[in-house]
Chain A
Protein backbone atom coordinates (compact mmCIF):
# COMPACT_ATOMS: atom_id res chain seq x y z
CA UNK A 1 0.00 0.00 0.00
CA UNK A 2 1.17 3.52 -0.70
CA UNK A 3 1.89 5.74 2.23
CA UNK A 4 4.34 7.68 4.33
CA UNK A 5 6.68 6.00 6.78
CA UNK A 6 8.25 7.91 9.63
CA UNK A 7 10.90 6.42 11.88
CA UNK A 8 11.56 6.03 14.65
CA UNK A 9 8.24 6.32 16.45
CA UNK A 10 9.98 7.51 19.64
CA UNK A 11 13.35 9.26 19.86
CA UNK A 12 15.38 10.55 22.76
CA UNK A 13 18.03 13.21 22.46
CA UNK A 14 20.81 14.14 24.81
CA UNK A 15 21.80 17.74 25.32
CA UNK A 16 24.07 19.00 22.53
CA UNK A 17 23.25 16.11 20.23
CA UNK A 18 21.92 16.22 16.69
CA UNK A 19 19.25 13.69 15.75
CA UNK A 20 17.73 12.82 12.39
CA UNK A 21 14.10 11.87 11.80
CA UNK A 22 13.37 9.76 8.77
CA UNK A 23 10.47 10.28 6.34
CA UNK A 24 9.91 8.09 3.28
CA UNK A 25 6.94 8.14 0.89
CA UNK A 26 5.94 5.86 -1.98
CA UNK A 27 3.03 7.97 -3.20
CA UNK A 28 5.08 9.50 -6.01
CA UNK A 29 4.42 12.96 -4.57
CA UNK A 30 6.67 15.84 -5.54
CA UNK A 31 6.11 17.90 -2.38
CA UNK A 32 7.06 16.97 1.17
CA UNK A 33 6.68 18.81 4.46
CA UNK A 34 7.79 18.71 8.07
CA UNK A 35 5.57 19.96 10.88
CA UNK A 36 6.04 20.32 14.60
CA UNK A 37 3.15 19.86 17.04
CA UNK A 38 3.33 20.86 20.68
CA UNK A 39 0.78 19.54 23.22
CA UNK A 40 -2.65 21.01 22.69
CA UNK A 41 -1.46 23.00 19.69
CA UNK A 42 -1.86 22.98 15.96
CA UNK A 43 0.81 22.07 13.43
CA UNK A 44 3.57 24.51 12.56
CA UNK A 45 5.56 24.21 9.36
CA UNK A 46 9.31 23.68 9.75
CA UNK A 47 10.51 23.06 6.18
CA UNK A 48 8.99 22.04 2.90
CA UNK A 49 10.22 20.86 -0.47
CA UNK A 50 8.33 21.01 -3.74
CA UNK A 51 10.94 19.28 -5.84
CA UNK A 52 14.09 17.21 -5.44
CA UNK A 53 17.20 19.19 -4.45
CA UNK A 54 15.16 22.21 -3.41
CA UNK A 55 13.55 23.16 -0.11
CA UNK A 56 12.30 26.26 1.70
CA UNK A 57 12.06 27.36 5.29
CA UNK A 58 8.69 27.32 6.95
CA UNK A 59 7.58 29.35 9.95
CA UNK A 60 9.89 27.78 12.56
CA UNK A 61 13.02 26.59 10.71
CA UNK A 62 15.61 27.76 13.25
CA UNK A 63 17.50 24.85 14.78
CA UNK A 64 16.44 22.40 12.05
CA UNK A 65 17.91 21.26 8.73
CA UNK A 66 16.65 19.10 5.88
CA UNK A 67 17.81 17.53 2.65
CA UNK A 68 15.93 16.29 -0.42
CA UNK A 69 18.28 14.16 -2.46
CA UNK A 70 15.60 11.70 -3.56
CA UNK A 71 11.95 12.18 -4.37
CA UNK A 72 10.94 9.56 -1.83
CA UNK A 73 12.94 10.84 1.14
CA UNK A 74 12.91 14.04 3.20
CA UNK A 75 14.90 13.59 6.45
CA UNK A 76 14.78 16.21 9.18
CA UNK A 77 17.75 16.90 11.45
CA UNK A 78 17.08 18.49 14.82
CA UNK A 79 20.31 20.23 15.69
CA UNK A 80 21.71 21.18 19.07
CA UNK A 81 20.76 24.77 18.22
CA UNK A 82 17.10 23.85 18.72
CA UNK A 83 16.76 24.60 22.43
CA UNK A 84 13.29 23.17 22.92
CA UNK A 85 13.04 20.12 20.64
CA UNK A 86 10.58 18.09 22.68
CA UNK A 87 7.54 17.76 20.43
CA UNK A 88 5.63 15.53 18.03
CA UNK A 89 6.99 15.72 14.48
CA UNK A 90 4.82 14.96 11.49
CA UNK A 91 5.94 14.47 7.92
CA UNK A 92 3.53 14.93 5.00
CA UNK A 93 3.52 14.78 1.23
CA UNK A 94 1.27 16.00 -1.54
CA UNK A 95 1.07 16.27 -5.27
CA UNK A 96 1.81 19.65 -6.85
CA UNK A 97 -0.67 19.59 -9.68
CA UNK A 98 -2.91 22.46 -10.61
CA UNK A 99 -5.84 20.93 -8.76
CA UNK A 100 -5.83 22.66 -5.38
CA UNK A 101 -8.04 20.07 -3.72
CA UNK A 102 -5.23 17.57 -3.28
CA UNK A 103 -4.78 16.99 0.46
CA UNK A 104 -1.53 16.45 2.24
CA UNK A 105 -1.01 12.87 3.40
CA UNK A 106 0.67 12.36 6.76
CA UNK A 107 2.89 9.80 8.40
CA UNK A 108 2.27 8.48 11.91
CA UNK A 109 4.73 10.90 13.50
CA UNK A 110 7.84 10.78 15.68
CA UNK A 111 7.80 11.79 19.34
CA UNK A 112 11.09 13.42 20.31
CA UNK A 113 12.06 13.90 23.94
CA UNK A 114 15.09 15.32 25.74
CA UNK A 115 16.95 13.05 28.15
Chain B
Protein backbone atom coordinates (compact mmCIF):
# COMPACT_ATOMS: atom_id res chain seq x y z
CA UNK B 1 0.00 0.00 0.00
CA UNK B 2 1.11 3.53 -0.71
CA UNK B 3 2.27 5.28 2.42
CA UNK B 4 1.50 8.73 1.04
CA UNK B 5 -1.25 9.29 -1.52
CA UNK B 6 -1.86 12.51 -3.40
CA UNK B 7 -4.83 11.93 -5.68
CA UNK B 8 -4.80 15.26 -7.53
CA UNK B 9 -2.17 15.26 -10.30
CA UNK B 10 -3.07 18.83 -11.23
CA UNK B 11 -5.11 21.69 -9.80
CA UNK B 12 -6.10 25.13 -11.07
CA UNK B 13 -7.01 28.06 -8.85
CA UNK B 14 -7.72 31.68 -9.53
CA UNK B 15 -5.52 34.33 -8.00
CA UNK B 16 -6.64 35.41 -4.51
CA UNK B 17 -8.76 32.29 -4.05
CA UNK B 18 -8.03 29.54 -1.51
CA UNK B 19 -7.08 26.03 -2.62
CA UNK B 20 -6.84 22.68 -0.83
CA UNK B 21 -4.32 20.05 -1.84
CA UNK B 22 -5.16 16.55 -0.62
CA UNK B 23 -2.86 14.12 1.14
CA UNK B 24 -3.70 10.82 2.82
CA UNK B 25 -1.20 8.63 4.59
CA UNK B 26 -0.89 5.13 5.95
CA UNK B 27 1.16 4.10 8.97
CA UNK B 28 0.85 1.85 11.98
CA UNK B 29 3.26 3.97 14.01
CA UNK B 30 1.57 6.19 16.60
CA UNK B 31 4.41 8.70 16.29
CA UNK B 32 4.90 10.35 12.92
CA UNK B 33 5.30 13.71 11.28
CA UNK B 34 3.85 15.13 8.09
CA UNK B 35 5.59 17.69 5.91
CA UNK B 36 4.61 19.73 2.87
CA UNK B 37 7.18 20.90 0.35
CA UNK B 38 6.90 23.19 -2.66
CA UNK B 39 8.94 22.54 -5.80
CA UNK B 40 9.00 25.38 -8.36
CA UNK B 41 9.98 24.65 -11.95
CA UNK B 42 13.61 25.43 -11.06
CA UNK B 43 13.68 22.21 -9.01
CA UNK B 44 14.59 23.17 -5.46
CA UNK B 45 12.46 21.78 -2.64
CA UNK B 46 11.11 24.40 -0.24
CA UNK B 47 9.79 23.33 3.17
CA UNK B 48 6.37 24.84 3.90
CA UNK B 49 4.76 23.36 6.99
CA UNK B 50 4.92 20.52 9.51
CA UNK B 51 2.29 18.61 11.54
CA UNK B 52 3.16 16.13 14.27
CA UNK B 53 0.91 13.20 15.06
CA UNK B 54 0.51 14.33 18.66
CA UNK B 55 -0.09 17.98 17.86
CA UNK B 56 -3.46 19.06 19.15
CA UNK B 57 -3.90 21.97 16.80
CA UNK B 58 -3.65 22.28 13.07
CA UNK B 59 -0.36 23.81 11.94
CA UNK B 60 -0.30 27.23 10.31
CA UNK B 61 2.52 29.17 8.62
CA UNK B 62 1.47 32.44 7.06
CA UNK B 63 -0.85 31.67 4.12
CA UNK B 64 -0.36 27.93 4.60
CA UNK B 65 -2.39 25.81 6.96
CA UNK B 66 -2.71 22.11 7.41
CA UNK B 67 -6.12 20.48 7.82
CA UNK B 68 -5.10 17.48 9.92
CA UNK B 69 -7.76 14.79 10.39
CA UNK B 70 -6.02 12.02 12.28
CA UNK B 71 -8.88 9.51 12.26
CA UNK B 72 -9.15 9.82 8.49
CA UNK B 73 -5.36 9.83 8.10
CA UNK B 74 -5.45 12.95 6.02
CA UNK B 75 -3.24 16.04 6.09
CA UNK B 76 -4.49 18.45 3.47
CA UNK B 77 -2.62 21.65 2.68
CA UNK B 78 -4.69 24.81 2.43
CA UNK B 79 -3.21 27.83 0.65
CA UNK B 80 -5.17 31.01 1.22
CA UNK B 81 -5.18 34.03 -1.10
CA UNK B 82 -3.31 32.27 -3.89
CA UNK B 83 -0.61 34.18 -5.74
CA UNK B 84 0.91 33.62 -9.16
CA UNK B 85 4.14 32.64 -7.41
CA UNK B 86 2.36 29.71 -5.79
CA UNK B 87 2.33 27.88 -9.12
CA UNK B 88 4.53 24.85 -8.46
CA UNK B 89 4.53 21.17 -7.61
CA UNK B 90 3.53 20.39 -4.04
CA UNK B 91 4.63 17.27 -2.20
CA UNK B 92 3.33 15.71 0.98
CA UNK B 93 5.83 13.62 2.94
CA UNK B 94 5.80 11.52 6.12
CA UNK B 95 8.43 10.69 8.70
CA UNK B 96 7.58 7.60 10.73
CA UNK B 97 8.73 6.97 14.25
CA UNK B 98 10.93 4.40 15.88
CA UNK B 99 8.25 1.68 15.88
CA UNK B 100 8.54 1.32 12.12
CA UNK B 101 12.23 2.16 11.98
CA UNK B 102 11.51 5.47 10.35
CA UNK B 103 14.44 7.34 11.81
CA UNK B 104 14.73 10.57 9.91
CA UNK B 105 13.71 9.22 6.51
CA UNK B 106 10.89 10.81 4.56
CA UNK B 107 8.43 9.05 2.27
CA UNK B 108 7.05 11.33 -0.45
CA UNK B 109 3.80 11.33 -2.37
CA UNK B 110 3.71 11.77 -6.15
CA UNK B 111 2.82 15.43 -5.88
CA UNK B 112 0.16 17.86 -7.11
CA UNK B 113 0.92 20.42 -9.81
CA UNK B 114 -0.79 23.69 -8.90
CA UNK B 115 -1.40 26.41 -11.47
CA UNK B 116 -2.57 29.81 -10.29
CA UNK B 117 -4.45 31.79 -12.95
CA UNK B 118 -5.30 35.47 -13.24
Instruction: Given A88-B43, A92-B45, A108-B44, answer yes or no on A100-B108 (Cβ-Cβ < 8 Å).
Output: no
Q: Complex Cα distance A9/B33, Å?
A: 31
Instruction: Given A100-B33, A108-B44, answer yes or no on A50-B108 (Cβ-Cβ < 8 Å).
Output: no
User: Would you call A33 an interface residue if the criterion is a C-beta within 8 Å of the partner chain's C-beta atoms?
Assistant: yes
User: Would you call A76 an interface residue if the criterion is a C-beta within 8 Å of the partner chain's C-beta atoms?
Assistant: no
**CB-based contact A31/B33 at 8 Å:** no
A-B contact count (CB 8 A): 63
**CB-based contact B52/A109 at 8 Å:** no
Chain B nearest Cβ from A55, distance in angstroms? 12
Q: Complex Cα distance A92/B9, Å?
A: 24
Instruction: Given A94-B104, A96-B104, A100-B52, answer yes or no on A109-B110 (Cβ-Cβ < 8 Å).
Output: no
Instruction: Given A100-B31, A100-B95, A103-B50, answer yes or no on A41-B110 (Cβ-Cβ < 8 Å).
Output: yes
Q: Which of A31, A104, A109 has the most CB of B within 10 A?
A: A104
User: Would you call A78 an interface residue if the criterion is a C-beta within 8 Å of the partner chain's C-beta atoms?
Assistant: no
Q: How large is the interface on B (under 10, 10 to 19, 20 to 34, 35 or more residues)?
A: 20 to 34
Q: Closest residue to B110 on the A side, CB-wise?
A: A42
User: Would you call A90 an interface residue if the criterion is a C-beta within 8 Å of the partner chain's C-beta atoms?
Assistant: yes
**CB-based contact A90/B45 at 8 Å:** yes
Q: Closest residue to B95 on the A side, CB-wise?
A: A100
Chain B nearest Cβ from A97, distance in angstroms? 10
User: Would you call A114 an interface residue if the criterion is a C-beta within 8 Å of the partner chain's C-beta atoms?
Assistant: no
**Top 10 closest A-B pairs, CB basis?**
A106-B45, A42-B108, A103-B47, A43-B108, A109-B43, A42-B110, A100-B33, A101-B50, A108-B44, A31-B104
